[in-house]
Structure 1
Amino acid sequence: MPDTSPSFRFPLLAQTMRTHFKVLFPGIAVSVIVAATAQFLAEHYATPAMLLALLLGIAVSFLGEEGRTVPGVAFSARAFLRLGVALLGVRVSMTVLAGLGLPLILLTAGGVVATILFGLWVARFFKQEWRFALLTAGSVAICGASAAMAIAAILPRDKNSEQRLIFTVMGVTVLSTIAMITYPLLASLMEFDHIQAGVFLGGTIHDVAQVVGAGFSISDETGDTATLVKLIRVSMLAPVVLVASLMIRARLETATEGKQPPLLPGFVIGFIALAVLNSLSLIPPAVSDFLSACSRWLLLIAIAAVGMKSNLKQVLSVGGAAIGLLVTETIFIAGLILLGIAALT
């Protein structure tokens, strides 16, 4: 009879962990190196770090296809993604968001829901399936690349899963960068005040970093408002993923489109828990800033790993219809928020 005493189990567990670490380390290391390189280039050439990490990852995609790095790259793309999304919860504070007032909160949250529903509806005209529609509409409506990775984690997987995610991350990052440059000019042409401009920028631009850049390029007041409005959209990530997960499970009960996702993914539970703790001021500001930085780095490493797992030819094969869908969703949320601003002012 084998020895099952604690003195026997602990060395065995330690040995197993060391074995797993040795297997995963090469892939994790190259993912970290690619992410760090992207961050360095982003800081020196004013280019979105997410986009650079993805492109650099694609450039060394052979590391995710064969050799000792494959297991660690796959682990980074999966585990770091979920942990990074969970840590996004520290950015959400309901007490701070409440200061914007109910009408603006409803406008922003309504814009998120309406954009996702619009994307699911309009996708049929672009001959795109519901998986891609949910992925693109969710990323446009909520928080760009981060939302795309969170939604991808709950979608049933098939042979095109990685390609859809990579295309969506590239697309929303490029569109978000274009918006960061052009939307402040549009706000100026429409003679928006600081509050109106902040609501427009925060309610329409996809990625958080680009919202901050666009807002503070106008004024500090606009930047603060834009950031708060953007955080409302970020806070919608958990309920959107939860509802989508429930709907996907119901759909898969009568269809064989892949393995069912969990009822409530662990990373969503983590996001909600951190958001609640932060809203109750139970997380010190220094810890919150640290966890927020960790989240950003984990997502950067994850997207670098996703790039290394990709096939560029397959990514580019999505075609013009997919680009059209992403642009249409972007135009829709911009028009909707503009109409809301006109109605409220």
Structure 2
Amino acid sequence: MNLIQGLSLAGLLAVVSVALAQQLGGLLSPLIFAILFGLVIGNLLPALSQGKWQPGLEFCKKRLLRIGVAFYGINITLQQVAEVGAGALVVDILMLGSTLFIAWWLGRRWLGLDGPTALLVGSGSAICGAAAILAAEPVLRARPQQTAMAVGTVVLFGTLAMLLYPLFYPWLGLSPQAMGIYTGATIHEVAQVVAAGSAMGDEVARVAIISKLTRVMMLAPVLLLLGYLLSRGSDNAPAARAPLPWFAFGFVAVVVANSLLSLPAAWVDAIRHLDTWALTMAMAALGLSTQLGALRAVGIKPLLLAGILFLHLTLGGLIVTHMAAGWL
């Protein structure tokens, strides 16, 4: 099986995406640029997602993606999680759990969405944006158009939150530490959290990043939960079982190793860069394989669900953060 053509194409889009993200100072994740470039090129030149290109693109979307998710844990240590205290952990858990519950219940019962679509939108909103959606995609057996639609909601509402939080910060009645926790617990992407936190000051940014990475650490147990929820959905056969997400356990192992071992800084930095490339190539391959006609078939309901989750995160998160102020 020839992988070179597809891998080279995804790698080229990853190079452009990473370079553009760096030029913008990390305002947006390279994963976002990668899927956008992939969508444009894949729809203008659909032959690039077929034939000799397909094996390499499939390798990126499956194996390279799983490797990237596992090593994403290099960004987190248990010491960072402990640093923000019990209050931040409470806010993170409450917002993550409630967001997933609303996505599953509202998406399925009220909007009539299928299980994978509802949970993809929910995981992107609840955990860490596009990276969480990519991680959940193989567990949920989602179609490329469902995944691409979910990523689009992260781009829209995560960017909106990134712009609004610094504007409203002076009127929210939160200390810098509390604002950091609120920001990290409710904005979608890590890059968006960094941008919003930096606009509100160094202390807010520091706490926001740690709070966000605490959410990211919950990715592994959430993947197991998503597989369980989908296996109980009416659109699956009773005997259907979600695949075991080995990469989720790999993610936890990397977090623990990064916390307990004194890894050389150069190693950690190299792993982070390689991991970014792996996930960016996976996102580029996803975009190349997704046709806009299939996205239209998904409809507007996922966008409506994402909007409701955005309101829950911003308003509900603010209430929860104020209530948890005693622990902060």
- TM norm structure 1: 0.87
Q: Does 1:29 align with 2:8?
A: yes
Gaps of 5+ in 1: 1-19
Which residue of 1 is the match for residue 177 of structure 2? 195
What's the secondary structure of 2:212's corresponding residue? helix
Post-superposition offset of 1:143: 0.1
Distance change in 2, residues 1:255/1:170 (3 Å): closer
Q: CA RMSD in A?
A: 2.0
What's the secondary structure of 1:206's corresponding residue? coil
What's the secondary structure of 1:262's corresponding residue? coil
Does 91-100 or 62-71 show the bigger shift? 62-71
Post-superposition offset of 1:110: 1.8
Q: Does 1:338 align with 2:315?
A: no
- Deviations along 1:17-36, whole A, 9 cap, x unmatched? xxx4xx00110000000111
- Deviations along 1:152-192, whole A, 9 cap, x unmatched? 110135xxx11010011121022211211111112222243
Q: Does 1:325 align with 2:318?
A: no
Post-superposition offset of 1:258: 9.4
Q: Distance in 2 between matches of 1:258 and 1:131?
A: 17
Q: Distance in 1 between matches of 2:152 and 2:101?
A: 22
Distance change in 2, residues 1:267/1:204 (3 Å): same
Which residue of 2 is the match for residue 52 of structure 1? 33
Post-superposition offset of 1:244: 2.2
Q: Distance in 2 between matches of 1:249 and 1:317?
A: 24
Indicate if the aligned counterparts of 1:109 and 1:232 stay in contact, CA closer than 8 A: no
The one-letter amino acid of 2:41's match is V
Gaps of 5+ in 2: none
- Deviations along 1:65-101, whole A, 9 cap, x unmatched? 3232111111111111111110111122112211211
Indicate if the aligned counterparts of 1:156 and 1:260 stay in contact, CA closer than 8 A: no
Post-superposition offset of 1:256: 2.4
Q: Distance in 2 between matches of 1:128 and 1:249?
A: 15
Q: Distance in 2 between matches of 1:33 and 1:39?
A: 10
Which residue of 1 is the match for residue 123 of structure 2? 138
Which residue of 2 is the match for residue 215 of structure 1? 197
Percent of paired sites with the same residue: 29
Which residue of 1 is the match for residue 258 of structure 2? 278
Indicate if the aligned counterparts of 1:198 and 1:224 stay in contact, CA closer than 8 A: yes
Distance change in 2, residues 1:197/1:63 (3 Å): farther
Q: Which has the larger radius of gyration?
A: 1
Indicate if the aligned counterparts of 1:48 and 1:173 stay in contact, CA closer than 8 A: no
The one-letter amino acid of 2:74's match is V
The one-letter amino acid of 1:281's match is L
Q: Distance in 2 between matches of 1:239 and 1:136?
A: 17
Q: Distance in 1 between matches of 2:214 and 2:239?
A: 32
Distance change in 2, residues 1:195/1:278 (3 Å): same
Indicate if the aligned counterparts of 1:108 and 1:337 stay in contact, CA closer than 8 A: no
Q: Distance in 2 between matches of 1:218 and 1:306?
A: 34
The 4+ residue runs of structure 1 with deviation greater than 6 A are none
Indicate if the aligned counterparts of 1:41 and 1:47 stay in contact, CA closer than 8 A: no
- Deviations along 1:268-327, whole A, 9 cap, x unmatched? 121011011112134333322221222211111100000111111111332222211011
- Deviations along 1:114-151, whole A, 9 cap, x unmatched? 11011111112222122211111111000000000111
Distance change in 2, residues 1:275/1:48 (3 Å): closer
Q: Does 1:117 align with 2:117?
A: no
Q: Distance in 1 between matches of 2:122 and 2:28?
A: 24
